[in-house]
Amino acid sequence: MPSAVVVALVVGSAIAVQVAIVGRASRALHPLVISLALQASGLVVGLGWLLWSRTWPQLPQVVGQWWWLPLGIVGWIVVAALGFSAARLGTSATLAIVIGAQLTVGLILDHADGRFEIGAPQALGVTLLVVGGVMVSWR
């Protein structure tokens, strides 16, 4: 199995656990507060990694780009929105909806990027995932 697939599987599993934990915490605390705390811990860990790996010179290359700030804001909001939704819908329903939306938009972006044409197999794959998401979310 290629390492990128393994990394994707690990990240997907970690996201599911994170959504469950943030969802539970969001029942008592505001999701944006939880997300801010997670961002702060990520900053601390990231700064530690920068010190250890000595990759400080690369930081201005990112911060000098226009997109870094809006994507950071979106990341903060995404974690909060996942917690908000998971507290109300459950982890599996939240992830089913999010994954269906991600796959649909990802397919469109890959098509716009010229990676491939959207045909019947891709449309069927998205449809099956969305239908599966509805089935998982069914109460």
Is pLDDT above 70 for 1? no
Per-residue pLDDT at 45: 95
Domain range list for the chain: 3-137
Per-residue pLDDT at 30: 96
Give the predicted TM-score (pTM) of the model: 0.82
pLDDT one-digit tens code per residue, 97-121: 899 899 899 999 999 998 888 889 9
pLDDT one-digit tens code per residue, 16-74: 999 999 999 999 999 999 999 999 999 999 999 999 998 888 889 988 999 999 999 99
Q: What is the 3-state secondary structure (H, E, C) of the chain?
A: CCHHHHHHHHHHHHHHHHHHHHHHHCCCCCHHHHHHHHHHHHHHHHHHHHHHHCCHHHHHHHHCCCCHHHHHHHHHHHHHHHHHHHHHHCHHHHHHHHHHHHHHHHHHHHHHCCCCCCCHHHHHHHHHHHHHHHHHHCC
Per-residue pLDDT at 75: 93
Is pLDDT above 90 for 15? yes
